[in-house]
Amino acid sequence: MTPDLPDGVERRAFGGDDEWLATRGDPVYGEPTDGEWRRWDARRSKLGAMFERGADHGLEGGETVLYLGAAAGTTVSHVADFAGPTYAVEFAARPTRDLLDAAEPRPNLFPLLKDARAPETYAHVVEPVDAIVQDVATRGQADVAVTNRRFLREDGRLLLAVKTRSEDVVADPDAVLESVLETLSEGYEVLETRSLEPFHEDHFGVVGTPR
């Protein structure tokens, strides 16, 4: 079963033969546009790749979202285009500067310079959400997802990009994924796991729901 794309995400040709994901909003990083639509390149976005790979994302559009690991805002800007209130957490100061630029024309995108491993430092700002999107390329990715479970509504979705080479460069990617899934099971029921190749090597997309 290939679930539909959320409302506000479409496939468009951008004048070529191939179809690309697209959302409606102000361009952020020099991506091609077609009228109000701007291209969302799955090779530059783990969530985009999850959509392309047909993940059971459960999003309909308009959801309240907590995005962990927003970096320069490439993906989260697309999320804010189709979602409702979108909270973007990023720990590193430098990429957050670009995230602020992405937030500027998006009144529903709330940037926060916070450490995703310390949810108590932003729980006074972030409300309970329908979806958590996580793309943090550091050790302890699963721990971050587990400790942020407190934000997710009972019927909400976790959309997690696992970078199997973040945990340990030399370890076998399958073993890394297995240990991530084991830790995740402390807080989530994992609905599916799929590779994000050919868009992203050594990455998996995991969909979960609170246990």
Residues that bind other proteins (CB under 8 A): 69, 71-72, 85, 90-100, 103-104, 107-113, 120-121, 123-128, 136-138, 150-151, 165-166, 169
Rounded least distance, CB 21 to other proteins, Å: 21
Q: Which residue has the tokens 């040709």?
A: 13
Half-sphere exposure of 6 (CA within 13 A, CB side): 25
Measured CA to CA in angstroms, residue 198 lies from 43, 49, 203 at distances of 8, 9, 10
Rounded least distance, CB 128 to other proteins, Å: 5
Rounded least distance, CB 10 to other proteins, Å: 25
Rounded least distance, CB 190 to other proteins, Å: 23
- Which CB sits closer to other proteins, 35 or 124? 124
Show the beta-strand stretches assigned E in the chain: 9-12, 20-24, 33-34, 37-40, 65-68, 86-90, 109-113, 129-134, 152-163, 188-195, 203-210
